[in-house]
Amino acid sequence: MNLRRKTVTTSLSLLALLIALTTPAALSAKDLTDRNLGFLTPVDFIPDGIVQVLTTEGEVLYGVIRRSVWTFRGLSRFTLIEADGRRTRFKAEDVVRLSASADLWTKVAMVGEAITTIEKASNTDYSQIENVNELIFDAVAWPDESNRVILLRVNHGFDQNFQVYSLTNGKEGTFTLGGIPAFGNEKKSYVVAQGDSAPVKIKKKSYRKQFETLYGDCPQMLTLYKKKARDFSDFANHIAKYDQVCSSRAAGAQAAD
């Protein structure tokens, strides 16, 4: 059992499940989604079970992870044990993608993380967590540096154009009780990648200034969202809307050609 699982107590997990199953928000997932689409609640551990690793050399390997090293940015290295017992140590530079099944414990941890966040406690679509069967961790270049880090992709289901990644240290205002995150645990930054462009770090305090740079290649986004509508709390909605209006625009242009 890894360190992260030790910090999430059984009582917290049971409380998370109780809230998810009994609150009106959990029982009205569609209303929640209509009101505020959210990113997948992140976890900073790799779930138990068989994982798939795609290497930079094009190999696809299967095995279990027995050791992983997390820095203040994200996952930097891990050891994969294959079925024949072979152990391979990987750095982020050696990996393209790591995929893992989202088991029940992982989903409990996600719900537990969500309810300790003031911003997400009332807006989390718990059915989204329930329906996630796979977690995808991509190796991405750290913004403005050559170093790579493995990060969890959190825009599950609306990542056609942008891939949004959670940061281990992307939170502010965290209060802890006995080492367990308590209320005020809000996400303040993400890393975003699009196609072959270099990843960029998106911050709450500068999101409105970054809006035109991020979505400026799609005029509809600038028309739909004036300055007052470019709030960081709607970041997930903006990413999803780009998939809707800008992908269809691109598809229409190709069809016209």
User: What are residue 55's DSSP bridge partners?
Assistant: 95
Residue-averaged pLDDT of the chain: 75
| pLDDT at 221 (0 to 100) | 96
Q: pLDDT for 185-225, tens place per residue?
A: 467 889 999 988 889 999 999 999 999 999 999 999 999 99
| pLDDT at 218 (0 to 100) | 95
Q: pLDDT for 113-153, tens place per residue?
A: 555 554 444 455 555 555 667 889 999 988 767 789 999 99
Q: pLDDT for 146-196, tens place per residue?
A: 789 999 998 888 899 999 998 865 554 444 444 444 444 467 889 999 988
92 in Cβ contact with 139 (< 8 Å): yes
- The answer for 144, left when phi > 0, alpha when psi is -120 to 50, beta otherwise, is left
| pLDDT at 188 (0 to 100) | 86
- End-to-end, the C-alpha distance of the chain in Å comes to 55
Highest mean pLDDT pick, 19-28, 119-128, 174-183, 240-249:
240-249
Domain ranges of the chain: 3-204
**DSSP-assigned letters across all residues of 144-168:** TSS-EEEEEB--TT--SS-EEEE-T
> pTM of the prediction?
0.73
- The angle subtended at Cα 161 by Cα 160 and Cα 166, nearest 5°, is 90
The residues near 104 (Cβ < 8 Å, ≥ 6 apart) are none
